[in-house]
Amino acid sequence: MNTTTRPLTAIVDQIFADRRITRQVQQDLMQTLLGKAHISSQEQALAQRVFEAIQQGRLRVVD
């Protein structure tokens, strides 16, 4: 398990720059979000942006 987490903005920036999300990046994203006691509205918006892009087909999910 990765004990150091990258900032959420860095993860989201990587996802949109690559136009894809790997299982590892997905795990990093989830660890970052679930590792917090409180998620700000900005962090919620970033996560929502990723999930909407996946649903709309603007991001590919790869292994």
Cβ burial of 48 (10 Å; 0-12, 13-18, 19+) is exposed
Which band of pLDDT confidence, cut at 50, 70 and 90, is reported for residue 6? Answer: confident
Summarize pLDDT for 7-27 with one digit per residue, the tens: 999 999 999 999 999 999 999
Kindly state the helix (H) or strand (E) to which residue 33 belongs, with its residue range. helix 23-34
**pLDDT surpasses 50 at 34:** yes
The model's pLDDT over 36-48, given as tens digits with 9 standing for 90+, comes to 899 999 999 999 9
Question: What pTM was estimated for this model as a whole?
Answer: 0.83
